[in-house]
Structure 1
Amino acid sequence: MKRLSLARFGLLLAALWVFAACERDTEPKRAASDPSKPDVVVFGSEMEGMYLARAAKDEGLSVIVIDPREKPGGQLIQGEMHYLDEAFEGSGKSLLQGRVKLLFDAYKKGDIRKKEEFVAYFNQLSDGIPIESGISITNVEIKEDPATNKRRVESVSYRTKDGTTKTVSARYWVENTDFSALTSKLGLQRIPGIETVFGGTKDYMASSLMMKFRNVDWAKFQQEVNKLGKKGIEEKYGAETTVTDTFTWGFGNVGGRFKPSSSDVFLRGLNTVNQRDGDVLINALLLYDVDPSSEESVRQAIELGRRETERVLPHLRQELPGWEKAEINGYPEYLYVRDYDRYETEYVLQATDLMSGTMYDDNVSIAGYALDLQGTKNHVWGSRKGVPDKYGMPLRSFIPKGYSNVITAGKNVGASAVAYGSARIQPNTALAGEVIGILLARLDDKRVLSELSAKEMKELHSYVQKKHGIRLSGVTGADKIKHLTDEQRRQLNEGKLVIE
């Protein structure tokens, strides 16, 4: 308890220092608007969009969050997806920047590993931002904007948890749910999904239920696995199997030796995090055909995941040293939803953009991560199509096509099915959210995001680097596909080519 209290205290001080520094350095262009007509409405409380909300508020805008889920926090809090993937450039240097770096720094030190510690972090991030949970959108008022020849959302009506109908107007609207609650109502074209890679009809990468265990002897686990040596580890547990003081990856053979109860569930390799005190969490249990827009589909998937976790436990006890006395340590209240409908943005990122290290005048993130396509029912193991160095994510990939005042966040980024395997990673889109939140406050009432000039973006880049330490320009990424022909590039974008 002493360590937890000190960790929270240290994290709180760090967060307050950052927030205070931002407020000292900020000169908002306008006072906060009428609370009944906020500057920014964020739909959903997934973490990536909360970075946008936090930045916008700290830069002087009024922000509210209206969330279709019953409780806030999305996959990180309710889904307890606490195996955090970090983005690195080809040399192995971390690409973390901005506020999300605070989370990862504390995570890597071991100060944030358990749910209550993540909740404390989320509460600091959302402090002072109203969140209304359990809503459902009933109407979206859309008008043509003659000044820009684009459409704009004027107002949104929604039903609250108690059945009351409300209507809200705002300058900007942010899609931050994991099931396109807002953008699905805007008449946009769906970006073709993972079915374009693995075949079949409309499809999505699997969702997951995190598996939580206690009474694991991590020291024994690490020692007994590693003493086998590289060849012995690969033969018994699978290629690339690794156990560190805090994480594991690999263990594909352990997943492969488990017989699922049905074709709707699958145990892949084990991404495991040591949460301290014998508690561990595993990201490995894949659930297929989950529709996150359907409460019933989500409920059924959670129930299936819980039943399968009970079957996985004896398998892990038998397979893994140090797990002989392991027990189930409860269940998350929600899923980790990787993939759902995404809708066309002003620019849709392609795999060739990522693998060539392309940078943009309107960069809002410097990103990295493998093109990691998780499995589907028809292709249970998924596929990795290549590993970029680093690449830019342009503002245009977060603006729905033809709209002047709507923004996408997190998993709603405009990326093809193959590019999405990398672009979807939390640090990549969390940074983009923070930068866009800052940008919204730098615009006057007559400017719209989709019409910013290269000069204006250059000024923004200078501002965020000077005031927030975020570097978005003057960065180059290695071109790993300069040798490819036009036909090979087409194949890469379609997921038919793997870059080693």
Structure 2
Amino acid sequence: MSKRFEPSRLDGRSVLRKRRFRKGTVSAVAILVLLLAVAWALWLREPGGTRAPAPLADVPSVGQPKDRYDVIVAGTDPEGVAAAVSAARNGLRTLLVDGGSREILGGLMTLGWLNSLDPSYSPDKPLIPGKHRFLNKGIFQEWYDKVEGTSFDVTTAANAFRDLVAAEPNIDVLWKAAKLEPIVSAGPAGGRTVQGLNVTLADGSTHAVKANAVIDATQNADIAAAAGVPFTYGREDLGDKNSKMAVTIVFRLSGVTPDVWKKMIAREGVGHDGYSAWGYTDMWDYPTTDKEKVRMRGLNIGRQNDGSILINALQLFGVDPFDPKSVEQAYETARKELPLVVDYMRNRYEELRDVKLAGLAPEPYVRETRHMIGEYRLRMTDLLDNRDHWDRIAFGSYNVDIQSTSYAFRGTILMKPKQYAVPFRSILPKEIDGLLVVGRSASFDTLPHGSARTIPVGMAAGQAAGAAAKLAADHGVTFRELSRSEEKIGQLQRMLNEQGMELKPFRIDPPAYAKHPAYPGLKAAASMGIASGGDHNEFGLDDPSNPQRLVNNMLAVQKVHAGAFRGNPTAALKGLASPDKAPLSLRIAAQAIAYAAGLPADEPDKAASLLESNGLLAKETVAAIRDPEKLTNGDAYLMIRDAVKGLTGTVYE
């Protein structure tokens, strides 16, 4: 084990020295904080120049894998690097393997050019002014301290990943595997266990590589899927399997001199942070050539040390990441559209008149494919409640960011949690043992995935997976047995804390929306994607609703619970002149819900009684309505909650 992981020890003389110099501690700390803050500001040199470009360091590959390792990590994205480094530091012989044409560590961040982080910041104030305080530390923090900031140069990032891996003699890296297939055997009590990978090399030879544990860090959980782990796909848990967030191809612009950068970040509405900038929101108005395939959004911009910038803003629809022809078609669409996009930008923004299109990322940025069904599936209620879990291995606080799924839907920020825990059970698949899944395809419902899919969360989960492999081996238990032992999970958390993470219990005071009487209804509505609070959690529970909104909500509920709600709620709008402006009455709301449930509700005055008699509306909900002629959003959400509970038995808690 590396010395950096050894717990600190104080002898008596150290304690004595601490007491002797206690009086000077406050002033010394103040001076140190000031010096660090100045150094931080100078290092950023913002606005102005950048670091000098560095050459890309080579990451050597073993010619052939050994027959056995303690751990195999499949996938060299950031989560995979963290998992491999963690396993190796814990004394495990580790194979880090990837396929295709990859020879650069970092995957999405280095080959996908996604060079801006979506960090989960701590609710606690930072010690050093201007420096971020992250919830997920450990190996992620080590890597972050080597790069420029929340946006970074992709070569700097690749070299930082390379340094982490190269420092661990227990890691073998294997590039360009033609195929990776799990070796699955029957386990105890009829279960199945992954015991390694069949690795087909570029020359066509296949090697059976056995391991005590396999960590799937591929973006799409390819190993887990091949092993038979259950998944949902896209927005399937919301009733729309064919819908998923847009794919993006990041593009590069050259000609961004320091003077151009200064003008960019000085533009009204543009925010910036070191190497990052975001804004230019009127790029949503760009006249796309094909609304079925492509559109632009506001720009997320990250600087590069060669003076160029990388832009994450081009949204591509209908892309199947598992079909090479579909991916190539997406690139063809991007190659045709981006020259028009850049011309539009040059004409619209004076500071960009001399920039040039300088390339497309080698790999696409795929936000969403598979969602694993694990021992615990992270839910929207976890985020709404800012919930801790006893088996916490990572934390999240990033916005629940749902990107466009089509040209018509621009995406939304569902809410901004303060802090929630990701449990170990969310990286442990159901039905298959010997395998952990880290990254965006872990066990998250579609909506909380909008926050939990972020890379700092995935790197923390990767570090936990590597340490869990060591702990399971030492105790001779399976991952599933480990997941059910509070004692062993506590030991895992202590290991991780000694290794740089901070996995401590926490409690967040209930936010204002959680104290509202309609909160149980909000939980249901947010979980089904029909309530959105933005990044300020303004859910408008006391705002007036209207008949059209209620009907739209019920149409969404029908998708989520398709087998239960089979009727037509729009029939309740018959005869209403302006259903999107009229107040929502209890009669119309009850009628729409009853119609959606397939009940005969032609008499609106009797619709509420009809729902009550069928167990689809609680008397307490009706009694809490202040004005039956003017229902609020909160009133409507509570009625919807009752109907879903009564018809399906589902309670969102």
C-alpha spacing 1:223/1:257, structure 2 compared with 1 (3 Å): same
Q: Deviations over 1:390-449 (max 9, x none)?
A: 110100000111222110011122100001000000001111211221232133252122
- DSSP 3-state at the match of 1:130: strand
| Deviation of 1:328 (Å) | 1.9
Q: Is 2:235–2:243's contact at 8 Å kept on the other side of the alignment?
A: yes
1:451 counterpart letter in structure 2: E
The within-5 A match list for 1:225-240 is 226=266, 233=268
Is 2:385 aligned against 1:356?
yes
| Deviation of 1:267 (Å) | 0.8
Residue 165 of structure 2: aligned partner: 126
- DSSP 3-state at the match of 1:330: strand
The within-5 A match list for 1:390-401 is 390-401=419-430
Counterparts of 2:121 and 2:344, CA distance in 1: 33
Counterparts of 1:416 and 1:82, CA distance in 2: 26
- DSSP 3-state at the match of 2:346: helix
Counterparts of 1:402 and 1:188, CA distance in 2: 7
Residue 191 of structure 1: aligned partner: 232
Residue 192 of structure 2: aligned partner: 151
Q: 1:402 aligns with which of 393, 417, 431?
A: 431
| Deviation of 1:223 (Å) | 4.1
Q: Deviations over 1:200-240 (max 9, x none)?
A: 4422211111111111245445447646xxxxx36xxxxxx
The within-5 A match list for 1:42-441 is 42-72=73-103, 73=105, 74-90=107-123, 93-109=133-149, 113-127=152-166, 128=169, 129-137=171-179, 139-146=181-188, 150-191=191-232, 193-194=234-235, 197=238, 200-223=240-263, 226=266, 233=268, 241-244=270-273, 246-276=275-305, 278-377=307-406, 379-441=408-470
Q: Is 1:345–1:397's contact at 8 Å kept on the other side of the alignment?
A: yes
Q: 2:526 aligns with which of 464, 467, 492?
A: 492
- DSSP 3-state at the match of 1:303: helix
2:3 counterpart letter in structure 1: A
Counterparts of 2:503 and 2:225, CA distance in 1: 30
| Deviation of 1:25 (Å) | 6.5
Counterparts of 1:212 and 1:175, CA distance in 2: 30
Counterparts of 1:139 and 1:48, CA distance in 2: 20
C-alpha spacing 1:478/1:278, structure 2 compared with 1 (3 Å): farther
- DSSP 3-state at the match of 2:87: helix
Counterparts of 2:463 and 2:440, CA distance in 1: 15
- DSSP 3-state at the match of 1:347: coil
Counterparts of 2:207 and 2:356, CA distance in 1: 46
Residue 238 of structure 1: aligned partner: none
C-alpha spacing 1:447/1:367, structure 2 compared with 1 (3 Å): same
Q: Is 2:122–2:134's contact at 8 Å kept on the other side of the alignment?
A: yes
C-alpha spacing 1:426/1:139, structure 2 compared with 1 (3 Å): closer
Unaligned runs of 5+ in 1: 1-18, 27-33, 228-232, 235-240
| Deviation of 1:284 (Å) | 0.6
Unaligned runs of 5+ in 2: 9-64, 126-132, 538-653
C-alpha spacing 1:300/1:364, structure 2 compared with 1 (3 Å): same
Counterparts of 1:254 and 1:482, CA distance in 2: 36
Q: Is 1:217–1:323's contact at 8 Å kept on the other side of the alignment?
A: no
Is 2:491 aligned against 1:449?
no
- DSSP 3-state at the match of 1:342: strand
Worse-matched range after superposition: 472-481 or 385-394: 472-481
- DSSP 3-state at the match of 2:360: coil
Worse-matched range after superposition: 469-478 or 60-69: 469-478
Q: Is 1:389–1:478's contact at 8 Å kept on the other side of the alignment?
A: no
Q: Is 1:46–1:177's contact at 8 Å kept on the other side of the alignment?
A: yes
Q: Is 2:292–2:407's contact at 8 Å kept on the other side of the alignment?
A: no
1:103 counterpart letter in structure 2: W
- DSSP 3-state at the match of 1:107: coil
Worse-matched range after superposition: 112-121 or 44-53: 112-121
- DSSP 3-state at the match of 1:117: helix
Q: Is 1:252–1:268's contact at 8 Å kept on the other side of the alignment?
A: yes
Counterparts of 2:470 and 2:461, CA distance in 1: 15
1:450 counterpart letter in structure 2: R
1:179 counterpart letter in structure 2: N
Q: Is 2:70–2:94's contact at 8 Å kept on the other side of the alignment?
A: yes
- DSSP 3-state at the match of 2:447: helix
Counterparts of 2:360 and 2:342, CA distance in 1: 13
Residue 68 of structure 2: aligned partner: 37
- DSSP 3-state at the match of 1:285: strand
User: Considering only aligned residues, what root-mean-square deviation do their CA atoms show, in Å?
Assistant: 2.7
Is 2:461 aligned against 1:461?
no
Counterparts of 1:160 and 1:318, CA distance in 2: 49
Counterparts of 1:153 and 1:379, CA distance in 2: 43
Q: Deviations over 1:79-120 (max 9, x none)?
A: 11112222124466532411211333343459x832322221
- DSSP 3-state at the match of 2:137: coil
- DSSP 3-state at the match of 2:440: helix
* Identity level (%): 23
Residue 471 of structure 1: aligned partner: 502
Counterparts of 2:162 and 2:74, CA distance in 1: 17
Q: TM-score, normalization: structure 2?
A: 0.66
- DSSP 3-state at the match of 1:353: helix
Counterparts of 1:224 and 1:370, CA distance in 2: 25
Q: Deviations over 1:15-43 (max 9, x none)?
A: xxxx95346679xxxxxxx9421111112
Q: TM-score, normalization: structure 1?
A: 0.84
Q: Is 1:209–1:285's contact at 8 Å kept on the other side of the alignment?
A: yes
Worse-matched range after superposition: 387-396 or 247-256: 247-256
Q: Is 2:237–2:445's contact at 8 Å kept on the other side of the alignment?
A: no
| Deviation of 1:307 (Å) | 2.8
C-alpha spacing 1:447/1:458, structure 2 compared with 1 (3 Å): same
- DSSP 3-state at the match of 1:308: helix
Counterparts of 1:69 and 1:406, CA distance in 2: 22
